Chains A and B, each alone.
Chain A
Amino acid sequence: MSPAFEKHLNLLDYALSSLWRRKMKNLGIITVFAGVIFLVASFQILTSSLTSIAETMLAKTPEIVVQKMSAGRQESIPLSYLNRLDGVFGIRAAVPRIWGYYFDETSGANYTVMGVERNAMPEGQRLEMVIDGSYPDAEPGGAALGREVAANMNLAGRRTFSLFRPDLSLKTLRITGIFAESTNLLTGDLLVTSLDDARDLFAIPDNLATDLLVYVTNPNEISTIAKKIAARLPDTRVLTRPQILKTYKVVFGWRSGFASICLLAALAAFAILAWDKASGLSVEEKREIGILKVLGWQTTDILTLRYWESLTVAGLAFLIGCTAAYFHVLFLEGSLFRPVLLGWSVIHPSLKILPVFAAGDVLLIFTLSVLPYLAATVIPAWRCSTISPDAAVK
């Protein structure tokens, strides 16, 4: 064992003994620090996991979505717009779709009602694989429900239910199937009907649809074709698959939102607390430093000792905080952040997600927590190490 290594091992031994002598104070600091890191790490793991889920689950989202805009709002798009896309080279298919929101007044829940001609959709013929039952287009009046919708309606074995049209007349629908649980993060609030039934429920005229889904022959040409569509239909908004996928990176981005700012404020508050605690030396601590200096310890030795103390506290708090955060997201479904994430949503799928904790996330949390702590304690450590021994012992 080299002398330098042996020296640091001995200093670490002394630092640990010193920490243990003031165990109540130091355990308190580790607990609070680990708690702050736990909150930051939980938030980071949750948002990283949701971003990753969005990327994989929405990989097959429509290549181009065309919405009609009027006075800054989206409105129904005329089906005659399909004819104006005829001359755009590279379009494989353009499919009208009707969808919207239905507010269930009895439960306060919002359902997403969707009607689409499945034969025109990619993978449309295989939709039965994700439905426990059948797709609702065999005969009029059918509906496939998301699991959360079915649970919220409290059907108690009934196979039919009624929804209000805009004129408050009732439209009765028959349940043909329930979406598979594994697709719950996509279909939880869905109520899928045939195109005609969705049109009837929302009283949308035959010549209108909610939006158009455009599929292209060559995926490399998505942005070029989107520009051509925007030029031909200037009163529309054209969204592309890359834009849709980018949305989730932005909405869950680290800098986005109020929650991350609150958590960073908590970290800053802890760094100030650490500074305050480290700079206020007790008489006993001053005497200890004085005695060490009388015994021949150099200023660098005391600085190294303080460095080991800070690193032990911060390192342990970091490991405990990150482990607890991983556990929190994996087994408790991020329950602390659920109220912030889900808000007043009446129906929402369970957040049974597998945490994604990349090396970049670990580094980010380490940089935001451990480094500020070490920085906050280094100047007080230098100040205490430069105390003259006779003044300290007196």
Chain B
Amino acid sequence: MRPTHSLVLIILFLLILDTALYAHVRFQQETVQRPAAHLNDIVTAGLGLTDLCLATEARYTRHPAVSDPIAPFMDHLGAMEHFPTGSFWAPPQD
């Protein structure tokens, strides 16, 4: 077998694996995510939710959409941002 054939086989294996993973995600979207989508719409509209529940450590990371851009620095004069998620979340911009 030529070395090129080995390379093609390796690339084919990886592409088939990627296709299988993608198909799995599409299947999950159709069978699990889409049927539950209307439940998320109900809870968002019914309670007036504005944010995802991801990082609950600080109010400006729990509700970035309704927090001030300078909220991390508002706790006291000369305050430094110290929550770990603050480094991951950029401030909202108008």
Number of A-B contacts (CB under 8 A): 229
- Chain B, interface residues (CB within 8 Å), range: 35 or more
Contact A257 B87 (CB under 8 A): yes
With beta carbons under 8 angstroms apart, the residue of A112, A130, A316 that contacts B43 is: A130
In the complex, whether B9 has a CB less than 8 A from a CB of chain A is no
Contact A61 B49 (CB under 8 A): yes
With beta carbons under 8 angstroms apart, the residue of B2, B45, B63 that contacts A123 is: B45
Contact A312 B61 (CB under 8 A): no
In the complex, whether B78 has a CB less than 8 A from a CB of chain A is no
Contact B50 A58 (CB under 8 A): yes
Contact B21 A250 (CB under 8 A): no
With beta carbons under 8 angstroms apart, the residue of A116, A184, A243, A246 that contacts B53 is: A184
What are the interface flags for B24-35 relative to A under an 8 Å C-beta threshold, 1 for contact and 0 otherwise?
Answer: 110011000100
What are the interface flags for A231-254 relative to B under an 8 Å C-beta threshold, 1 for contact and 0 otherwise?
Answer: 000000001000110111011010
Residues of A in contact (CB 8 Å), total: 92
A16-B4, A20-B3 given; A345·B57 CB < 8 A: yes
A239-B65, A243-B94 given; A319·B44 CB < 8 A: no
Q: Whose C-beta in chain A lies nearest to the C-beta of B90?
A: A256
Contact B53 A186 (CB under 8 A): yes
Shortest CB distance A353–B (Å):
10
In the complex, whether A29 has a CB less than 8 A from a CB of chain B is no
With beta carbons under 8 angstroms apart, the residue of B17, B44, B61, B83 that contacts A61 is: B44
With beta carbons under 8 angstroms apart, the residue of B7, B40, B93 that contacts A57 is: B40
Chain A residues closer than 8 Å to B87, beta-carbon distance:
257-259, 340
Chain A residues closer than 8 Å to B68, beta-carbon distance:
72-74
What are the interface flags for A339-362 relative to B under an 8 Å C-beta threshold, 1 for contact and 0 otherwise?
Answer: 111111111110000110100000
- Cα–Cα distance between A24 and B87 once the two chains are bound (Å): 38
Contact B47 A116 (CB under 8 A): yes
Q: Whose C-beta in chain A lies nearest to the C-beta of B27?
A: A354
- Cα–Cα distance between A126 and B91 once the two chains are bound (Å): 34
Contact A251 B52 (CB under 8 A): no
Chain A residues closer than 8 Å to B45, beta-carbon distance:
60, 121-123
What are the interface flags for A99-143 relative to B under an 8 Å C-beta threshold, 1 for contact and 0 otherwise?
Answer: 001000000011010101010011110110110000000000000
What are the interface flags for B51-94 relative to A under an 8 Å C-beta threshold, 1 for contact and 0 otherwise?
Answer: 11111111101111110101000100000000111111111111
- Cα–Cα distance between A345 and B60 once the two chains are bound (Å): 12
Which residues 11-46 in A have Cβ within 8 Å of B in the complex?
A: 12-13, 16-17, 20
With beta carbons under 8 angstroms apart, the residue of B25, B42, B59, B61 that contacts A127 is: B42
Shortest CB distance A54–B (Å):
6
Stretch from A155-163, A175-183, A276-284, A372-380 that touches the partner: A175-183
Partner-A contacts on B (CB < 8 A)? 2-4, 6-7, 10-11, 14-15, 17-18, 21-22, 24-25, 28-29, 33, 36-37, 39-59, 61-66, 68, 70, 74, 83-94
Q: 10 shortest A-B CB distances, which residue pairs?
A: A256-B90, A16-B3, A343-B84, A343-B85, A258-B87, A123-B45, A182-B36, A60-B45, A188-B53, A247-B65
Partner-B contacts on A (CB < 8 A)? 9, 12-13, 16-17, 20, 50, 53-54, 56-62, 65, 67, 72-74, 95, 97, 101, 109-110, 112, 114, 116, 118, 121-124, 126-127, 129-130, 146, 148, 179-180, 182-190, 192, 211, 213, 239, 243-244, 246-248, 250-251, 253, 255-259, 312, 315-316, 319-320, 322-323, 326-327, 330, 339-349, 354-355, 357
